[in-house]
Amino acid sequence: MKDNATSVRLTGLERFGLDEAAFRRLRNRNVVGYAHLRTYDVTPAVQRLPRLKRQPYMAARVDRWIENIQSHYPDLSFQIKGSKAPAATARTWSQLPTTLRVRGTARKILDLAREAGVRLIYVTQIAGHRRLRLPKAQSEWYCVRAFVVIRVERAESGLQNTEDRFMLVRASSFEDAKKRLRKQWREYATPYLNSEGRMVSWHLDRIVDVYQTSETDIDPYGTEVYSKLGHRRMRPKYVWRPRIRS
């Protein structure tokens, strides 16, 4: 069934210098792309099922979507990607089909993009159109996490103070981000005198991590600049019991 409540979901058109309106005008021009399916979407219907029935339901659901798509679009050619076994019972959870390589007219590709089981279609080829060259990679925001030690002249015992420092820098890669901060680390370590007349230096001990934000602009309303996954021991107060939507 068509998902009429959502707009057409096409990506990759900018690589051909096209927008959606221009793509619509292509009509019978041959197009190749990848239809990405909603295979692992946890919908309210999935939430309402008992835990052990959820994965079989989703496996049967994606098979049903593919069968419907193939029957409704006999003029399109398909190549299923993501499935390594013929039957749902023989597949592991990670082997469910997630992508269809599709070939057909622009008009049919537009129709297919509206199907309920299709998340989006990434267009890779359009007859009569060359893909544009990508511009040089833009610099992005990287967060460099550093471990700094506060060195005090002649201090030989006791605790040494440290600093967990996070620095944002625009760079083209992880290594470039570290390289661009070298001058700042040297300046940061410039000695000064404390109240006792001893020299103090905030010295870079090591780079702990470099995090790519995947952003080119920092949103003042909130942008993630660093993230690190960890774990903790489960306790009763941490148990999540989600409310199932009706």
Domain borders along the chain are 10-126, 140-227
Does residue 153 surpass a pLDDT of 70? yes
* % the chain with pLDDT above 90: 67
Q: Of 65, 89, 88, nearest to 78 (Cα)?
A: 65
Instruction: List C-alpha distances in Å: 14 to 25, 31, 108, 198.
Output: 15, 14, 19, 61
Residue 109, pLDDT score: 95
Spatial contact of 68 and 100, defined as CB atoms under 8 Å apart: no
Spatial contact of 41 and 55, defined as CB atoms under 8 Å apart: no
Report the C-alpha gap between 139 and 88 in whole angstroms.
44
Residue 126, pLDDT score: 97
Number of H helices and number of E strands within the chain?
Answer: 6, 9
Kindly report the average pLDDT of the chain as a whole number: 89
Does residue 84 surpass a pLDDT of 90? no
pLDDT tens, 162-177? 999 999 999 999 999 9
156-165 long-range contacts, CB within 8 A, separation 24+: 162/205, 163/202, 164/208
Residue 215, pLDDT score: 83
pLDDT tens, 43-54? 999 988 998 999
Does residue 121 surpass a pLDDT of 80? yes
Spatial contact of 142 and 62, defined as CB atoms under 8 Å apart: no
Question: Terminus-to-terminus CA distance in the chain, angstroms?
Answer: 22
Residue 219, pLDDT score: 84
Lowest mean pLDDT among 10-14, 26-30, 76-80, 157-161: 76-80
| Per-residue pLDDT band at 3 (split at 50, 70, 90) | very low
Residue 214, pLDDT score: 84
Residue 138, pLDDT score: 74
pLDDT tens, 185-215? 999 999 999 898 989 999 999 999 999 998 8
Lowest mean pLDDT among 55-69, 81-95, 175-189, 227-241: 81-95
Report the C-alpha gap between 137 and 38 in whole angstroms.
30
Residue 105, pLDDT score: 96
User: In which residue are the tokens 């239809």 written?
Assistant: 35
Q: Of 150, 210, 223, 215, nearest to 181 (Cα)?
A: 210
Residues paired with 171 in a beta bridge: 140
Does residue 88 surpass a pLDDT of 50? no
- The reported pTM is 0.68
